[in-house]
């Protein structure tokens, strides 16, 4: 424990990268580990086939995210991409596919993850380029004679959903950053909670990243929410948990009401009630499609973030 704590304090980039490269393990997802590293001064560079190795790599206080984070990409393909890039830089998606022997399915997940953005000029363009017909058989090596469409870039919320779907990590965004402006001011964040007095009534919201029910805790459930700034620890007494069992065990985003309990620097919210935070219930603005719509569409991909008891 001391050695791990020392590494986290003095070498946060190496500590976080090593944990992500050792996944799956423990309670915390790569997203939680990397966002915590960012809060401790570590900078993240996105997954790119021109720069990413299979594993996450550290340079100074920066972590270059590795291809291992791309869901649907096998290690054998990732290693071939590494080897082909060492020979020479990739010139195009076709060059990548040919020299690293990357199939269309793997190219698709790379495009959706953002790993091809620099080769193609953007996420939407990468998805288009991968899906478009290309010369095969007798026509291999001959690009189709057609005009490349100019596609609008993804919205912030669309990109966030694809990030979570394909890598489980967003370098510069979080679901609560999109939802916070539409929540009432009475819904406090992790920073607010740290400044509040013990016994205060509080309403909080966040992404569920961990649920625990120790055998020795007499049915008490401990959960952790993550918002855009940090963590909020929850305590659910057995009675409260049973009243809200379905929501407590299935919701990826929670709205929680309870009482603050402080013991020195340790702060918990003792839960009175909780409910699923449904982005569709957040007030709509008059400007057409709101980011909450994309967050709602991406909700299934958030469920895998919580490391839970069963």
Q: Which of 58-67, 190-199, 207-216, 277-286 has the lowest mean pLDDT?
A: 277-286
Residue 154 has pLDDT above 50, yes or no: yes
Q: Are strands 253-263 and 201-212 parallel, antiparallel or unpaired?
A: antiparallel
- Rounded mean pLDDT of 2-23? 94
CA distances from 293 to 141, 229, 279 (A): 41, 23, 7
**pLDDT one-digit tens code per residue, 261-291:** 999 889 999 999 999 987 665 544 333 344 4
The encoded tokens of residue 197 equal 């007095």
pLDDT, residue 139, reads: 52
Alpha-carbon distance of 133 to 145, in angstroms, equals: 11
Q: Which of 84-88, 230-234, 297-301 has the lowest mean pLDDT?
A: 297-301
Residue 303 has pLDDT above 60, yes or no: no
Phi, psi at 228, each rounded to 5° = -70, -10
Superfamily of domain 175-305: Nucleic acid-binding proteins (2.40.50.140)
Residue keyed to tokens 């020195």: 264
Phi, psi at 147, each rounded to 5°: -75, 130
pLDDT the model gives residue 290: 41
Q: pLDDT tier at 157 (50, 70, 90 boundaries)?
A: confident
pLDDT at 26 over 90: no
Which DSSP string do the residues of 142-208 spell out, in sequence order?
A: ---SSPPP-PPPPPHHHHHHHHHHHTS--SS--HHHHHGGGS-TTEE-HHHHHHSPTT-EEEEEEEE
Query: Mean of the pLDDT values across residues 136-159?
Result: 71
Tell me if 2-166 shares its fold with 175-305: no
Q: Is the pLDDT of residue 129 over 50?
A: yes
Residue ranges covered by each domain of the chain? 2-166, 175-305
DSSP 90-105: --SHHHHHHHHT--HH
- Residue 298 clears pLDDT 50, i.e. is over it: no
pLDDT of 276 reads 94
- The predicted pLDDT at position 295 comes to 47
Task: Give the pLDDT score at 198.
Answer: 95
pLDDT in tens, 34-80: 999 999 999 999 999 999 999 999 999 999 999 999 999 999 999 99
Report, as an integer, the average pLDDT of 168-180: 91
Q: How far apart are CA 96 and CA 105, in angstroms?
A: 14
pLDDT average, residue stretch 130-142: 66
Segments of the chain assigned E as strands: 43-45, 57-59, 62-64, 187-188, 201-212, 221-226, 231-236, 253-263, 266-276
pLDDT band at 144, cuts 50/70/90?
low
The band of 107, judged by pLDDT with boundaries at 50, 70 and 90, is: very high
Q: Which two tokens stand for residue 98?
A: 């040919």
Q: How confident is the model at residue 301 (pLDDT cuts 50, 70, 90)?
A: very low
Q: What is the mean pLDDT of residues 207-211?
A: 92
- Residue 82 predicted with pLDDT over 50: yes
Residue 29 has phi, psi (to 5 degrees) of -75, 165
Q: How many CB atoms lie within 10 A of CB 59?
A: 10
Compute the average pLDDT of residues 84-112: 95
The pLDDT mean for the chain works out to: 87
Contact present, 175 and 294 (Cβ < 8 Å): no
C-alpha to C-alpha distance for 170 and 159, rounded to whole angstroms = 9
The pLDDT of 21-29, averaged and rounded, is 84
Fold of 2-166: DNA polymerase; domain 1 (1.10.150)
Tell me what pLDDT residue 96 has: 96
Q: Report the alpha-carbon angle 116-119-17, nearest 5.
A: 45
d(CA 218, CA 131): 54
Strands 266-276, 57-59: pairing kind: unpaired
């Amino acid at each position: 424990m001391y050695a791990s704590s020392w590494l986290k304090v003095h070498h946060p980039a190496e500590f976080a990268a090593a944990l992500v490269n050792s996944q799956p393990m423990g309670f915390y997802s790569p997203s939680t580990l990397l966002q915590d590293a960012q809060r401790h001064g570590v900078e993240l560079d996105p997954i790119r086939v021109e720069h990413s190795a299979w594993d996450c790599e550290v340079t100074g206080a920066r972590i270059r995210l590795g291809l291992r984070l791309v869901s649907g990409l096998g290690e054998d393909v990732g290693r071939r991409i590494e080897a082909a890039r060492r020979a020479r830089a990739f010139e195009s998606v076709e060059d990548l596919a040919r020299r690293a022997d990357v199939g269309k399915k793997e190219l698709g997940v790379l495009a959706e993850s953002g790993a091809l953005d620099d080769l193609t000029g953007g996420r939407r363009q990468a998805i288009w380029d991968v899906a478009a017909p290309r010369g095969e058989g007798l026509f291999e090596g001959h690009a189709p004679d057609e005009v490349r469409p100019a596609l609008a870039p993804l919205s912030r919320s669309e990109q966030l959903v694809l990030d979570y779907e394909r890598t489980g990590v967003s370098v510069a965004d979080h679901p609560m950053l999109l939802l916070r402006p539409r929540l009432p001011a009475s819904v406090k964040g992790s920073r607010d909670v740290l400044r509040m007095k013990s016994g205060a009534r509080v309403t909080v919201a966040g992404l569920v990243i961990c649920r625990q029910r120790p055998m020795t805790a007499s049915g008490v459930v401990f959960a952790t929410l993550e918002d855009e700034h940090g963590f909020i620890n929850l305590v659910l007494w057995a009675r409260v948990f049973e009243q809200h069992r379905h929501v407590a065990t299935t919701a990826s985003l929670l709205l929680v009401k309870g009482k603050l309990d402080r013991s020195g620097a340790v702060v918990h919210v003792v839960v009175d009630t909780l409910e699923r935070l449904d982005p569709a219930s957040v007030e709509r603005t008059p400007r057409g499609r709101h980011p909450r719509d994309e967050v709602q569409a991406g909700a299934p991909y958030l469920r895998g973030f919580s490391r839970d008891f069963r």
